[in-house]
Amino acid sequence: MQTLNDILGDSKIFMNREVLSPHFTPKKLVFREKEINNIERAIAPCLKGERGRNLFIYGKTGTGKTSCVNYVIEEIKGIPNTRAKISYINCRIYNSRFKVLAKITGDHLPTYAKRGYGAVDLYERLRNWIEEDSKIFVAVLDEIDMVKDLDDLVYTLTRINSDIKAGGVSMIGISNRVSFKEDLDPRSLSTLYETELVFPQYYATELYAIIKDRANAGFKKGVMNDDVLHFIAAQAAREGGDARFSLTIISKAGELAEERDQTAVTMKDAQDAAKAAEDDAVYELIKTLPEHQKLVLYSISLLTQSGGTYKKLTDGVDTYLFSGEVYNRYKSICESMNSESKSERWYRKYLSELEMQGLIAAFESGKGIRGHTKLVKLLVPAKKTKDVLERDLFRVENQEENKA
């Protein structure tokens, strides 16, 4: 067992933990030169004082979308005398039109932002601020699909361009979901004039090169060997080419080696770290789902745990639920939240997307069940899923964690 002095002392494993973090942006992003150039081309008109096209960037988690955009933002900061102004907004935190407008105002008009104005007042002030010296403003909206009133936000930001005589606004939207624009109202879609950029997943060989470069900078010499790095790269490639996932594993493996008072990371450390990272990745994925998908998944987790109005089906190992029962529970939860539930057409789409994410299985019932219905099975632990969603949706704290 390590003592406090051991923990506070020099590490036998790490040289620079920061570079192993998924949130660290290196000076050079390998295998993403083409994507960076595309972002630069999309934003170049803004740097010349012209209105650029809106850019929407898609790709699975861990494909480098945010890192590449932040890389370009840092490049722009080094350009002197540009009229372009940029705000980076994490929409998991700033998840409404008002919060986004308040964040933008806080970035560029901080004294005005503290006065407690409403969305309309913020809009008017931002519009005047842009027009007063023909600024070009770029709003970088990371995880844009997390904004609850996205239609209103898109319409508001694009509307500024119609209301001003000089200057302009461009958006860079980043999303894991290529289909997120399908949720937009036709009114909002009609205001967009966008370019799309899809980030491909990384191959195992690319992931190996990425984490080897980070390992050389993050670990002390001799701590990490190539066999372990190849194993971690293969695990991340199997999870969809997620570089963030590979960095989580490599960092966790180093921590396990340190806890075990070793001088090198072993294959067992990497295997244990991969298992822990897989569990964490599932629940991180759940947190990124749109609100109504979360509510459907919450309904499934509740019914899986406790049953419902109709008889549950079980084969002694797995529990199967009637799709109609899940939809009824979802509508009931929406009603209790004073939120309008979506139609059955949208509900079927949510089930399909949850299945694509590997969180549920949904299939048509076979013989022996009256009628023609769809059965739903939860593929992740029901209690943990329910607890994660309750904290995320309702800010309910886990009682067992509080006792600890």
pLDDT tens-digit profile of 122-142? 999 999 999 999 999 999 999
Residue 126 lies in a domain: yes
CATH code, domain carrying 209: 1.10.8.60
Are 194 and 221 within one domain? no
Residue 23 lies in a domain: no
pTM of the model: 0.77
Residue ending a domain, among 198, 227, 262, is 198
CATH code, domain carrying 391: 1.10.10.10
Are 186 and 274 within one domain? no
Are 151 and 218 within one domain? no
C-alpha–C-alpha distance, residues 353 and 347, integer Å: 10
| Confidence (pLDDT) at 78 | 87
Residue 25 lies in a domain: no
The structural domain count of the chain equals 3
Are 318 and 398 within one domain? yes
Are 194 and 280 within one domain? no
pLDDT band at 3 (very low <50, low <70, confident <90, very high): low
- Pairing relationship of beta strands 374-378 and 360-364 according to DSSP bridges: antiparallel
Per-residue pLDDT at 296 exceeds 60: yes
Per-residue pLDDT at 392 exceeds 60: yes
- Interval 265-291 mean pLDDT: 91
Are 393 and 297 within one domain? yes
Q: Is 362 helix (H, G, I), strand (E, B) or coil?
A: strand
- Interval 69-96 mean pLDDT: 91
Residue 71 lies in a domain: yes
Are 10 and 106 within one domain? no
Nearest C-alpha neighbor of 300 from the set 378, 219, 203, 383 = 378
What 8-state DSSP symbol labels residue 193? -
With residues binned 3-state (H G I as helix, E B as strand, rest as coil), the percentages for the chain, rounded to 5, are 55, 10, 35
Higher pLDDT, 309 or 353: 353
Q: Which run of H or of E encompasses 171?
A: strand 168-175
pLDDT tens-digit profile of 23-51? 898 888 999 999 999 999 999 999 888 88
| Sheet strand arrangement including 374-378 | 313-314, 319-322, 374-378, 360-364
Residue ending a domain, among 140, 170, 198, is 198
Are 281 and 312 within one domain? no
| Domain that includes residue 180, residue range | 33-198
Are 142 and 69 within one domain? yes
What 8-state DSSP symbol labels residue 184? S
Residue 22 lies in a domain: no
pLDDT tens-digit profile of 188-211? 777 777 789 999 999 999 999 999
Residue ending a domain, among 198, 214, 237, is 198
Residue 24 lies in a domain: no
Are 188 and 228 within one domain? no
Nearest C-alpha neighbor of 288 from the set 135, 216, 392 = 392
Residue 108 lies in a domain: yes
CATH code, domain carrying 41: 3.40.50.300
pLDDT tens-digit profile of 335-382? 999 999 999 999 999 999 899 888 999 888 655 555 557 889 999 889
Residue 75 lies in a domain: yes
Are 242 and 128 within one domain? no
Q: What is the DSSP string of 221-282?
A: TTSS-HHHHHHHHHHHHHTTS-HHHHHHHHHHHHHHHHHTT-SS--HHHHHHHHHHHHHHHH
Are 339 and 326 within one domain? yes
